[in-house]
Amino acid sequence: MSFEEYKNLWVFVETEENEVKPVGYELLNPGRELADKMGAKLVAVVIGGKVEDIAKKAIEYGADEAILVEGDEYFNYTTDAYSIAMKTLVDKHKPSAILIGATNNGRDLGPKMACDLNTGLTADCTGLDYDAEAGNMVWTRPAFGGNLMAMILCPDNRPQLGTVRPGVFKKPELVEGREGTITREDIHVAADQIRTKLIERIEEVAEAVNLEEAEIIVSGGRGVGSEEGFGVIRELADVLGATVGASRAAVDEGWIPRAHQVGQTGKTVGPKLYIACGISGAIQHAAGISGSDCIVAINKDPDAPIFDVADYGIVGDLFTIIPIMIDQIKKVNA
């Protein structure tokens, strides 16, 4: 395969019911740096019902160009419609690499594209780089249960595909009025080519727990001790206007729904403030909170690994410390 005709870095900016998924804009941040290293253009790919405003916003977030595909068949995500549209675009424009958010839809689309395009896919990446000498993307993801980080290359096929977890990267700075080229592609998929149909959308608890966009998260772990023990975690979160998170251990015990799970096997988060209560800090959890601006840890064990990644540590019983914090915060709020 000759790679000379494959150029530019694409970011798939996902939409659903004409609303953007934030991870698409987040990926424009590392995308900008990678495109500059490649000496290539950063191109946002936007597919949806009526989503021209999202394409314009992608340019304001740093894309050089946007490719826009609109149609009623794209209002809700379906594997067939989106994969057909993406394959048509790739066959025509031949990008070197494509970044896709590791959302539910992105985790569905990525493997289908890899199959359609006969290329590789690195899933759930937490790090991205470019090897200019070899001309390959360097995809980094946790491996072996999070005990090591694997660097994966796709040297023999193009385009190179990777899905990246929401919350790993921050959105780039928005430059209002920033201009770039928007290329409209008229791609439509016949109804008989779409083998699935959305019958009904059910609002689940998981959709209400928006950990990826939370600015403050208060999480509980095994040290919380029980489902009832999460009462004090929720109270602290309430006075801070925070979202409640949890470690895998607490979720596995059945103390809190899986939608709250933070870590390699849960949600990757990057809040301004992350408070870990009774969480030991295993590598899987630490990997999921590494993007936090400030981490505060509360744990009885002074040797707990969480203190190695925390900015501030409090050694003590969370059921003694958190009520004191709540009282002080209430005084400040008053």
* Tens digits of residue pLDDT in 90-99: 999 999 999 9
Q: How far is CA 210 from CA 19, 133, 167, 180, 207, in A?
A: 15, 40, 11, 31, 7
Bigger pLDDT: 169 vs 114: 114
* Secondary structure of 14-79 as H, E, C letters: CEECCEECHHHHHHHHHHHHHHHHHCCCEEEEEEECCCHHHHHHHHHCCCCEEEEEECHHHCCCCH
pLDDT of the residue at 207: 47
Query: Three-state SS for 295?
Result: strand
Beta 136-143 vs 127-131: how paired, if at all? antiparallel
Alpha-carbon distance 99 to 164, whole Å?
Answer: 7
Bigger pLDDT: 178 vs 146: 178
Q: How far is CA 91 from CA 8, 64, 106, 254, 315, in A?
A: 14, 20, 20, 47, 57
For residue 284, give every residue at least 6 positions away whose Cβ sits within 8 Å of its Cβ, in sequence order, or none.
Answer: 142, 145, 146, 248, 263, 264, 265
- Stretch 72-84: mean pLDDT: 96
Task: Let me know the angle formed at the C-alpha of 20 by 158 and 174, rounded to the nearest 5 degrees.
Answer: 90
pLDDT score of 303 more than 60: yes
Beta 42-48 vs 9-13: how paired, if at all? parallel
pLDDT score of 268 more than 80: yes
Grade residue 200 by pLDDT with cuts at 50, 70 and 90. confident
- Stretch 72-76: mean pLDDT: 96
pTM of the entire predicted model: 0.77
How far the first Cα of the chain sits from its last, in Å, is: 67
Average pLDDT along the chain: 92
**CB-count exposure of residue 30 (10 Å: 0-12, 13-18, 19+):** buried
Alpha-carbon distance 90 to 258, whole Å?
Answer: 36
pLDDT of the residue at 38: 95
Q: How far is CA 3 from CA 87, 95, 187, 204, 216, in A?
A: 17, 10, 25, 44, 44
- Contact (CB, 8 A) for 11 and 42: yes
**CB-count exposure of residue 54 (10 Å: 0-12, 13-18, 19+):** buried
- pLDDT tens-digit map of 30-45: 999 999 999 999 999 9
Query: Three-state SS for 117?
Result: helix
- Stretch 62-88: mean pLDDT: 97
Domains, in order of start, for the chain: 9-193 (3.40.50.620), 207-333 (3.40.50.1220)
Alpha-carbon distance 227 to 209, whole Å?
Answer: 17
pLDDT score of 317 more than 50: yes
Identify the H or E element spanning 148. strand 148-152
pLDDT score of 206 more than 60: no
Q: Which of 209, 216, 222, 203 is nearest to 259 (CA)?
A: 209
- Stretch 105-128: mean pLDDT: 95
Q: Which of 23, 75, 30, 25 is nearest to 49 (CA)?
A: 75
Q: Which DSSP letter does residue 272 get?
A: S
**CB-count exposure of residue 272 (10 Å: 0-12, 13-18, 19+):** exposed
- Contact (CB, 8 A) for 34 and 128: yes
pLDDT of the residue at 266: 84
pLDDT score of 288 more than 80: yes
Question: Is the link from the previous residue into 323 a cis peptide, with omega within 30 of 0?
Answer: no
